[in-house]
């Protein structure tokens, strides 16, 4: 074999290897991706969604610039949704059936979204909440992220009698953050810090010749409901309780940070080749009083939590527990102010972004979602109906999951939602007020059968059910060890 022939042979092998993973780009270019996800905000607390008190001018602008999914469905609580985003499959198939008790850990066999995107040359960073395992093998810097700036557990300052715990003594102001495996001390309000860190990383990597995936994931507006005084004053002046003012103020602070981010995208001339996604991880909380009323309203009169007239909130299998905003903006390729009526879900994000990035070969047997590219190109594209499944889970550790199979579950297709034994027509009855199960027994039977099939697939993959409780809290142990070996350094905020 001559040197020239050998060179051509090696080149063909190289190109063939690339083609195993990559295909023609559906939008002719490989965009940067910024995914912003808030914690417990839900669908209702957005100005354009009719909220009577909250002002979100920047999200309102994004609403008008975006392709919006009218019914974008996630899980009823935090970790499950995040696992679905990272994997493209139902969270139970990642072993996640809770948010604590070692059952929030995403199975180590799961191939993550940043690992998939890396096949197309992407670099990835996470800024904020991870909540898919605090033990070292589960941490994001070991799951495909090149940059990780996160708190522990499911919220800043949380700690439980298991491995799930944040750095000791943490507060929403000046928190200790884990940055690429080492703890650093910060100054400022948590949401501001996560956006600043994310934007600083984007500024650093934007000119390196590789596309980036930035995952900005706030712990706000999760309780406790603490926001900067500048964001709570308007609500306390109106007569709202401190807790409700905190919840609303946290959301308005998120909106301010979205404005900062959108401005930098423009300043850095990234808007034409950057996808910006905004969403929440589950239905809204009660914003100060659990899952019920939102504290005390104006003039001392109680006001029901505004939830866009949906039934259910966080932790519920009803529509209000799982429907969230999903704004998808790509100024260079997609027209703004479009609404897609087809149901979509968290499991669709990985295959959609992989499709856009030109990745053809997805993790074998893992992905259960669909690429939404056909709908992004044409909101009226032909789209086969399907079933989406909700299971609140959170049963007592040690119990048999199958005993809870028919409790706190729901099945959704384009038109109907089956919740337990009740069936609702979401087209004519979006508030789920009229049970029509007796009128459509065959439909109920078919939806239950689909759910039963899903359960049989998911049950063997619930790998955390018998996991022993960790005797230590990894973040506490690592924090103490770092102090012993030299201390916690101060984080230097990037100049934007």
Clarify whether residues 139 and 172 are in a common domain: yes
User: Which strands form 388-391's sheet, in the order they lie side by side?
Assistant: 388-391, 409-412, 416-419, 422-425
Per the DSSP assignment, residues forming a β-bridge with 147 are 125
Clarify whether residues 297 and 227 are in a common domain: yes
Of 346, 377, 408, the one marking the end of a domain is: 377
With 0-12 / 13-18 / 19 or more C-beta atoms within 10 angstroms meaning exposed / middle / buried, residue 292 is middle
pLDDT score recorded for residue 10: 44
Asked whether 415 and 407 are in contact (CB, 8 A), the reply is no
Cis geometry, peptide bond prior to residue 224 (ω within 30 degrees of 0): yes
Mean pLDDT score across all residues of the chain: 93
CA–CA gap between residue 89 and residue 92 (Å, rounded): 8
Q: Per-residue confidence at 22, pLDDT binned at 50, 70, 90? A: low
CA–CA gap between residue 248 and residue 23 (Å, rounded): 44
Asked whether 150 and 127 are in contact (CB, 8 A), the reply is yes
CA–CA gap between residue 212 and residue 114 (Å, rounded): 10
Clarify whether residues 127 and 266 are in a common domain: yes
| 475 occurs within a structural domain | no
Of 439, 456, 473, the one marking the end of a domain is: 456
Clarify whether residues 79 and 140 are in a common domain: yes
Clarify whether residues 164 and 262 are in a common domain: yes
| 20 occurs within a structural domain | no
CA–CA gap between residue 123 and residue 126 (Å, rounded): 11
Segment 272-300, tens digit of pLDDT: 999 999 999 999 997 643 333 344 444 44
Q: Give Cα separations from 161 to 72, 465, 470, 474 (angstroms).
A: 34, 16, 8, 12
Asked whether 109 and 133 are in contact (CB, 8 A), the reply is no
| 296 occurs within a structural domain | yes
Three-state DSSP at 41 gives coil
pLDDT score recorded for residue 1: 54
| 194 occurs within a structural domain | yes
Global pTM reads 0.93
| 21 occurs within a structural domain | no
CA–CA gap between residue 195 and residue 211 (Å, rounded): 19
pLDDT score recorded for residue 11: 42
| 276 occurs within a structural domain | yes
Q: What is the DSSP string of 357-381?
A: TTB--PPTTT--S---HHHHH-TTS
CATH number of the domain bearing residue 205: 3.40.720.10
CA–CA gap between residue 136 and residue 475 (Å, rounded): 9
Clarify whether residues 269 and 162 are in a common domain: yes
Domain extent for 104:
31-377
Clarify whether residues 373 and 418 are in a common domain: no
Residue 37: pLDDT over 80: yes
| Per-residue DSSP letter, 383 | -
With 0-12 / 13-18 / 19 or more C-beta atoms within 10 angstroms meaning exposed / middle / buried, residue 368 is buried
Clarify whether residues 203 and 62 are in a common domain: yes
- State percent of the chain over pLDDT 70: 92
Residue 7: pLDDT over 50: no
Mean pLDDT score, 93-108: 98
Clarify whether residues 393 and 373 are in a common domain: no
- How many Å is the maximal CA-CA distance in the chain? 88
Ranking 59-63, 236-240, 435-439 by mean pLDDT, the lowest is 236-240
| 489 occurs within a structural domain | no
| Per-residue DSSP letter, 471 | S
With 0-12 / 13-18 / 19 or more C-beta atoms within 10 angstroms meaning exposed / middle / buried, residue 2 is exposed
CATH number of the domain bearing residue 445: 3.30.1120.10
Three-state DSSP at 457 gives helix
Sorted by sequence, the CB contacts under 8 Å of residue 471 that are 6+ apart come out as none
pLDDT score recorded for residue 12: 46
Segment 364-399, tens digit of pLDDT: 999 999 999 999 999 999 999 999 999 999 999 999
Query: What is the C-alpha R_g of the chain?
Result: 23
Mean pLDDT score, 179-203: 98
Give the containing element (helix H, strand E) for 446. helix 441-458
pLDDT score recorded for residue 14: 44
Q: What is the DSSP string of 185-244?
A: E--SBHHHHHHHHHHHHHHHHTTSSS-EEEEEE--TTSSS----HHHHHHHHHHT--HHH
Number of domains in the chain: 2
Segment 434-452, tens digit of pLDDT: 999 999 999 999 999 999 9
| 127 occurs within a structural domain | yes
Unique residue bearing structure tokens 């018998």: 466
Of 377, 412, 434, the one marking the end of a domain is: 377
Asked whether 38 and 368 are in contact (CB, 8 A), the reply is no
Clarify whether residues 124 and 242 are in a common domain: yes
Residue 17 or 100, more confident: 100
Unique residue bearing structure tokens 């499944």: 389
Clarify whether residues 411 and 363 are in a common domain: no
Residue 460: pLDDT over 60: yes
Clarify whether residues 186 and 266 are in a common domain: yes
């Amino acid at each position: 074999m001559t040197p020239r022939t050998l060179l051509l042979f090696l080149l063909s092998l190289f190109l063939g290897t690339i083609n195993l993973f990559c295909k023609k780009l559906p939008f002719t270019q490989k965009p940067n991706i910024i995914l912003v996800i808030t914690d417990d905000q839900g669908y209702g607390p957005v100005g354009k969604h009719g909220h009577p008190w909250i002002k979100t001018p920047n999200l309102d602008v994004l609403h008008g610039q975006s392709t919006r999914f009218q019914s974008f469905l996630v899980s009823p609580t935090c970790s499950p949704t995040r696992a679905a985003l990272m994997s493209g499959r139902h969270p139970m198939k990642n072993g996640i059936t809770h948010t604590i008790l070692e059952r929030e850990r995403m199975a180590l066999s799961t191939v993550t979204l940043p690992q998939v995107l890396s096949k197309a040359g992407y670099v990835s960073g996470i800024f904020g909440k991870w909540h898919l395992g605090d033990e070292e093998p589960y941490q994001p810097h070991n799951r495909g992220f090149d940059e990780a700036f996160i708190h522990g557990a499911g919220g800043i300052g949380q700690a439980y009698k298991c491995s799930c715990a944040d750095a000791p003594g943490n507060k929403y102001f000046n928190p200790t953050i884990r940055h690429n495996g080492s703890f650093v001390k910060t100054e400022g309000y948590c949401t501001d810090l996560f956006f600043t860190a994310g934007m600083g990383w984007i500024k650093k990597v934007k000119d390196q010749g590789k596309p980036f995936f930035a995952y900005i994931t706030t712990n706000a507006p999760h309780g406790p409901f603490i926001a900067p005084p500048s964001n709570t004053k308007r609500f306390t002046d109106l007569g709202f309780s401190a807790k409700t003012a905190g919840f609303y103020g946290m959301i308005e602070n998120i909106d301010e940070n979205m404005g900062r981010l959108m401005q930098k995208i423009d300043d850095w001339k990234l808007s034409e080749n950057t996808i910006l996604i905004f969403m929440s991880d589950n239905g809204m909380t009660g914003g100060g009083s659990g899952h019920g009323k939102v504290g005390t309203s104006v003039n001392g009169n109680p006001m029901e939590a505004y939830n866009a007239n949906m039934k259910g909130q966080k932790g519920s299998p009803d529509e209000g527990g799982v429907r969230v905003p999903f704004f998808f903006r790509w100024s260079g390729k997609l027209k703004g102010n479009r609404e897609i009526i087809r149901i979509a879900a968290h499991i669709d994000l990985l295959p959609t972004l992989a499709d856009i990035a030109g990745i053809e070969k997805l993790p074998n047997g893992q992905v259960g979602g669909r690429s939404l590219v056909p709908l992004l190109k044409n909101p009226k594209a032909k789209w086969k109906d399907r079933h989406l499944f909700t299971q609140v889970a959170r049963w007592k550790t040690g119990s048999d999951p199958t005993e809870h199979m028919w409790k706190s579950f729901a099945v959704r297709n384009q038109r109907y939602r089956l919740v337990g034994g009740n069936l609702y027509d979401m087209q004519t009855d979006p508030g789920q007020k009229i049970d029509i199960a007796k009128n459509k027994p065959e439909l109920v039977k078919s939806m239950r059968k689909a759910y039963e099939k899903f359960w049989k697939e998911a049950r063997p993959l619930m790998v955390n059910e018998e996991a022993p409780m960790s005797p230590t809290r990894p973040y506490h142990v690592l924090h103490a060890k770092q102090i012993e070996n030299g201390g916690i350094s101060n984080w230097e905020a990037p100049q934007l």
